[in-house]
Amino acid sequence: MPHIRKKKGVIGILTGGGDVPGLNPAIRAITIRALREGYQVIGLRHGWGGAVELVRDSEADNSDHYLVLTEEIVNKAGRTGGTFLHTSRTHPGHVPKVNVPMHLQDKYHEPMNDFTEEVLKNLGFLGIDYLIPIGGDDTLSYGVRLYQEGVKVVAMPKTMDNDVPGTDYCIGFSTCVTRTIHMTNSLRTSAGSHERFLVLEVFGRYAGFTAMLPTMAGAANRCVIPEHKFDIDRLTELLTHDRQANPSRYSVVLVSEGAMFEGGEMVYQDAEKDAYGHAKLGGIGEMVSAQLKELSPKYNNGKPIDVINQKLGYLVRGGDPDAVDSIVPMAYGNLALDLILKGIHGRLVVLKNGRYDDMPVDVVTSSKKFVNVEKYYNIDRLRPQYKSFEMQPQFIMTSG
């Protein structure tokens, strides 16, 4: 309920962008600790959407826009995947006319509208003292905007791609890598039975961590990533050699959804873009598969090699979190409360070199995080490379 204040104040939580395992454990950790420290906790529904669509009227039904959180509510969801607060890719600074809420259509009628004024008023209406957005660089970039507008923000990094700057680890990454390894290994039986190439398309728009780590762990022979445009002829040659060297006569390549052929560009499903300007990727795996089969006779005594093509997609982001994505969100949630209890804000909670810490929140918008190709990727062998593991972060090439 608006304006109900407890001993220390009100904390708001939201989850934006794609769902990942670990979000509900994070919400639970924040809520349990906050309630015990004397705060009220409000969960904003649908990411930034709830902050945009809320009606500032004590008589209005805002149950679809926010939820007052209790231990009972968060304990039920805390061990599960996804986000019970729901999510969206709403960008309050860029709301198209078609998405303007009914009660604000008289005020906002431009083709694209900035709802920051409304968001600030809505946070004030709810009495929110501290806001904890959980998301990737898109969701958190708007958190930076609100911090610059005076909101007390403590942010939490979440994305399977593990590409939020400033942190070695983002919630969801470990489960994604674990699932990728597991499903790749499951598909080996079919690839081996039919003596085929196995091509798996995985998430990774701009950063190739979700292809690199499983390959480094032995799940694939090769991987192609967004940071380096690859030569399909060279990939075919390598995979054919890998297949010939394998007693079961198959080989495996992981293909990041943002990977690009030499001389080409990213492959999109269609031209439609989300609120952050991203068109939906998809199809590079099919294109790689078709060209591998076409080129394979050149390296296989004139005989084509068939291909099993599989897009892992939402299978790696659905379901329950693994151990890391159960433990790290718990730690992140408590780290956020440690900061709030000290009156500190404008920070991003992080893991750096195996230790929990925090960074200025604007690191999200001031830098980018990609695979260091020169250091970690062999552009001739199309696979990870490493010289020494001494003093490397837990996930090796993932420092922000």
Say what the alpha-carbon torsion angle 308, 309, 314, 315 is, to the nearest 10 degrees: 10
Q: Where are the beta strands (DSSP E) in the chain?
A: 9-15, 39-44, 66-68, 95-96, 112-113, 130-135, 154-157, 197-202, 222-224, 251-256, 268-273, 279-281, 307-311, 347-352, 355-360, 377-378, 383-384
Say what the alpha-carbon torsion angle 331, 334, 336, 339 is, to the nearest 10 degrees: -120
Separation CA 400–CA 168 (nearest Å): 6
Separation CA 400–CA 397 (nearest Å): 9
Determine contact, residues 123/2, Cβ cutoff 8 Å.
no
Separation CA 5–CA 197 (nearest Å): 61
The one catalytic residue in 19, 138, 161, 362 is 161
Query: Is 320 considered catalytic here?
Result: no
Q: Where are the beta strands (DSSP E) in 262-369?
A: 268-273, 279-281, 307-311, 347-352, 355-360
CB count in 10 Å sphere of residue 69: 24
Which residues belong to the active site? Answer: 161
